[in-house]
């Protein structure tokens, strides 16, 4: 079995194509299979594996490079998510503090209102 001529693996030796087609690339959802194939073709083209062992090593290197790129991307995404999370937590804390101040003021107003001396309406008329 050979790869179509326009496929990135078309430049690889026959045994390399067979090995590549035997195992799917280590991609997760959302990753670009064409980019992986391009990386494989470029590294294999630079190394020009002479036998099956070198071909296996090329695939291992490509898989490791792909993993490093993925981990770096995930690390950046994690740091960005952590920054957003921290900003949200600060905002929540700010609102919580504002709500606590308002609640304390309202409670103080209720307490002050309970201890005010209110004269009955008859006493107020008699004094006048």
Q: What is the pLDDT of residues 15-29, one digit of tens each?
A: 555 655 567 888 999
pLDDT at residue number 120: 77
Total Cβ atoms within 10 A of residue 116 = 6
Residue 43: which pLDDT band, with cuts at 50, 70 and 90?
very high
Interval 53-57 mean pLDDT? 91
Radius of gyration, alpha carbons of the chain: 36
- Domain boundaries, given as residue ranges, for the chain: 8-115
Q: Could you give the CA distance from residue 26 to residue 102 in angstroms, rounded to a whole number? A: 55
In the predicted model, is pLDDT for residue 104 greater than 90? yes
CB 86, CB 46: distance < 8 Å = no
């Amino acid at each position: 079995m050979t790869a179509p001529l326009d496929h990135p693996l078309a430049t690889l030796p026959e045994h390399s194509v067979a090995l590549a087609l035997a195992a799917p690339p280590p991609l997760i959802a959302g990753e670009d299979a064409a980019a992986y194939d391009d990386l494989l073709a470029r590294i294999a083209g630079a190394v020009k594996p002479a036998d099956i062992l070198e071909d296996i090593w090329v695939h291992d290197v490509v898989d490791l490079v792909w993993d490093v790129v993925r981990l770096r991307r995930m690390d950046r995404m994690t740091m960005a998510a952590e920054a957003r999370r921290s900003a949200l937590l600060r905002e929540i804390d700010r609102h919580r503090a504002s709500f606590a101040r308002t609640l304390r003021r309202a409670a103080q107003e209720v307490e002050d209102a309970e201890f005010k001396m209110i004269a009955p309406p008859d006493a107020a008329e008699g004094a006048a």
